[in-house]
Amino acid sequence: MTDTFRGYLRADGRKGVRNVVTVVYLVECAHHVARHIATRSDDPDVHLIGFPGCYPNAYALKVMEAVCTHPNVGGVLLVSLGCEGFNREQLQAAIVASGRPVELLVIQEAGGTRATIAAGLQAVDRLKALAAKTPVGPMRLDELVIGTICGGSDGTSGITANPAVGRCFDQLVAAGATCIFEETGELIGCEGVMADRAITPELGMEIRASVAKAERYYTTMGFGSFAPGNAEGGLTTQEEKSMGAYSKSGASPISGVIKPGDLPPAGGLYLLDMIPDGEVRYGFPNISDNAEIVELIACGAHINLFTTGRGSVVGSAISPVIKVCANPETYRRLEGDMDVDAGRILDGVASLDEVGQEILDRVVAVASGQRTCSEELGHQEFILTYKAFEPSGPACLPLSQVAFRLAVV
């Protein structure tokens, strides 16, 4: 395994492992036009993303700004209907400030569906040509941001795939990389052990508070993150599922708690708090696994590790998804969608350390340009809905305070 690989060097100083052009609809009314532009471009590196809502939402704007200026993005085409509440001018300005090429099409001004699609195809060609000129250079392991999520969990998830990802995370953190695990709604009952791993007592208190917020939220909703499919797969309680989800984090110290769209200030292990702040206003926190993947991408994740026992076929736009299958029977049924067979641990033919190393090797290969199964199959799922968050307090990011003090000195 090499510890250096090719990265795309962005004007804002960040480095990416992909060089995609995004076609972005800013309201559901523009979705059809944007989808046709992306589809007719007939290029796996042209990705469709968007926000369906019409009225403005600070969270959605923050996430969209983060996603459109993600290091894996080389150019952006914004597609607006024209009368929606999304602040397209602010989004465009943020993309320009990042040094990425961006174009804006307003359907009401461009002449409708056919005219906007035609103009969009031309714009994509221009953006692709500019993205192709992005300089490349060496990228180190400690410059990677890796996220992890579990979906379709069963009784094998907490025994094989999740702890194997934890072993991979420990190696990445030791190498100076940034690792992000989530979600607080699936970690209820594990707040004490996580708080004990926090690098400061104040951060430990913030971890406890974030999980307590999740518990209150789900209690109000009358539904937790324990799904019928989890029970069918052999899980018995929310606590059992939480323990399995927790094992993805490994054993490294926890360096901070971040919220969607926050960028970790330094290498280390971070918990992503994805439960909205304040009163319950927008329904379930994340309506599917892909909503969580989008939030990891908004926090800068170059690649996401997706563990599954029952099976999942999803990928994502912008950042590749490496699927780690926990159950050997599931792997045999869905081998074409899976990147790593962690079920070999259950079969007794591989250890946790061996599979953890295999996951790490796959991370480096994907960062070096190798396509994941979901990429090869054309998966580019993307979901962004309404939420509300308050800014993170200083106790959540102690490393940023250390960096500030050093800068002052």
8-137 has CATH 2.40.30.10 classification? no
**Which residues, in sequence order, are CB contacts of 193 under 8 Å at separation 6+?**
246
The pLDDT score that the predictor gives to residue 1 is: 55
The strand ranges marked E within 233-360 are 254-258, 268-272, 303-308, 321-325, 340-341
pLDDT at 286: 85
Only one residue has tokens 């192709």, namely 132
Q: Identify the CA nearest to 38 among candidates 51, 60, 20, 19.
A: 20
Of 295, 301, 250, residue with least CA distance to 389: 295
C-beta of residue 345 within 8 angstroms of C-beta of residue 325:
no
| DSSP tally for the chain: helices H, then strands E | 15, 14
CA atoms within 13 A on the CB side of 170: 15
Q: What is the pLDDT of residues 279-298, one digit of tens each?
A: 999 888 888 899 999 999 99
Categorize the per-residue pLDDT at 157 as very low, low, confident or very high, splitting at 50, 70 and 90: confident
Quick one: pLDDT band at residue 390, thresholds 50, 70, 90? very high
Q: Is the pLDDT of residue 369 over 80?
A: yes
pLDDT single digits (tens) 308-367? 999 999 999 999 999 999 999 999 999 999 999 999 999 999 999 999 999 999 999 999
Residue found by looking up tokens 């090869």 in the block: 376
Q: pLDDT confidence of 232, banded at 50, 70, 90? A: low
Q: What is the pLDDT of residues 173-231, one digit of tens each?
A: 999 999 999 988 888 888 999 999 999 999 999 999 999 999 999 889 887 655 554 44
Take residue 376 and report the two structure tokens written for it: 């090869």
For the segment 47-105, what is each residue's pLDDT rounded down to a tens digit? 999 999 999 999 999 999 999 999 999 999 999 999 999 999 999 999 999 999 999 99
Q: Give pLDDT, residue 297.
A: 98
What predicted TM-score, i.e. pTM, was given to this entire model? 0.94
Q: What are 100-143's pLDDT values in tens digits? A: 999 999 999 999 999 999 999 999 999 999 999 999 999 999 99
Q: Indicate the domain borders of the chain.
A: 8-137, 141-403
